[in-house]
């Protein structure tokens, strides 16, 4: 891709030097021990049982690991600048497109973390991969995922990296336009269709990523081979391929994101057409 290093988005929140807080119980104290002994004597309960039930202490408190200086590298800082470029460029496109549909776009934040992070959707580790949390409207990514994308999944290249981030921004678009809310309601009312609806939502986010890719092609930002990098990344993280890599049989009933073929198809549809209405995976599934 053609981009100029050097900038950092105002919508980047860097938590790479932080560690999520954990919970532990404060010491129970002498008075608490006396109370437990009295209760155990009256009700004939083993005092050790009561101590275990209270975790050996009083109320739970939040504790965090001491912050460590984060050791970065010039290559990683260039990657920060690259994801900043993709984040700002993708959101600028959606700021142009959504008002045409009568919806005002609001910007998401991109949270950079290392190893683990606390979001409004819960605690997540690096193994989760990049994700979008609709509760706080943040995208989360451990930049180490890009090395895994290249080494484990065989999806190298900057446009492969950009596709992953554009897909997560696609989920934010779904939140802004109300698709995410409608899907969650449908999943609650029809649990049997929950996974199918999840797949359709993921495929739509792939198509939305393609819409951004279409805009980069029209603005001559793409270079030779970029489209192939993006399509290869979409195929690499299909549910069927991941199941095979894990030594499992391909089980479509367990899909949550779609097969490699489906992900490539919908990403390409966005790339080719650049049309939001053309990304209606839900209507397409009923035809």
pTM score, two decimals?
A: 0.83
Q: Is 73 helix (H, G, I), strand (E, B) or coil?
A: coil
Q: For the CA atoms of the chain, what is the radius of gyration?
A: 23
pLDDT at res. 246: 87
Q: How confident is the model at residue 150 (pLDDT cuts 50, 70, 90)?
A: very high
Phi, psi of 30, rounded to the nearest 5 degrees: -65, -40
pLDDT at res. 33: 52
pLDDT at res. 43: 47
Per DSSP, 237 falls in state T
Percent of the chain with pLDDT over 90: 73
**101 exposed, middle or buried (CB, 10 Å; 0-12, 13-18, 19+)?**
exposed
Cα dihedral 10, 111, 230, 218, rounded to 10, equals -20
DSSP string, 121-186: TEEEEGGG-SEEETTTTEEEE-TTHHHHHHHTT---SHHHHHHHHHHHHHHHHHHHHTHHHHHHHH
Here the tokens at position 147 are 């090395």
Here the tokens at position 282 are 């839900």
């Amino acid at each position: 891709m053609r981009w100029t290093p050097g900038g950092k988005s105002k919508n980047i929140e860097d938590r790479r030097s932080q560690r999520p807080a954990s919970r532990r119980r404060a010491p129970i104290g002498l008075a608490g021990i006396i109370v437990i002994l009295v209760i155990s004597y009256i009700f004939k309960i083993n005092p050790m049982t009561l101590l275990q039930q209270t975790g050996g202490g009083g109320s739970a408190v939040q504790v965090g690991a001491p912050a460590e200086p984060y050791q970065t590298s010039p290559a990683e800082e260039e990657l920060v600048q690259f994801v900043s470029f993709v984040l700002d460029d993708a959101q600028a496109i959606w700021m142009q497109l959504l008002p045409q549909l009568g919806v005002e776009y609001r910007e998401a934040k991109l949270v950079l973390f290392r190893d683990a992070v606390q979001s409004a959707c819960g605690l997540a580790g690096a193994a989760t991969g990049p994700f979008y949390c609709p509760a706080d409207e943040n995208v989360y990514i451990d930049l180490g995922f890009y090395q895994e994308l290249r080494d484990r999944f065989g999806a190298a290249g900057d446009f492969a990296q950009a596709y992953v981030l554009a897909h997560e921004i696609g989920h934010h678009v779904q939140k802004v336009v109300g698709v995410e809310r409608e899907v969650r309601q449908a999943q609650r009312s029809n649990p049997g269709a929950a996974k199918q609806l999840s797949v359709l939502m993921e495929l739509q986010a792939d198509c939305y990523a393609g819409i951004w890719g279409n805009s980069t092609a029209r603005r001559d930002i793409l270079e030779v081979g970029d489209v192939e990098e993006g399509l290869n990344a979409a195929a690499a993280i299909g549910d069927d391929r991941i199941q095979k890599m894990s030594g499992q049989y391909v089980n479509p009933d367990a899909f949550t994101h779609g097969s490699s073929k489906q992900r490539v198809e919908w990403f390409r549809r966005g790339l080719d057409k650049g049309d939001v209405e053309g990304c209606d995976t839900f209507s397409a599934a009923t035809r």
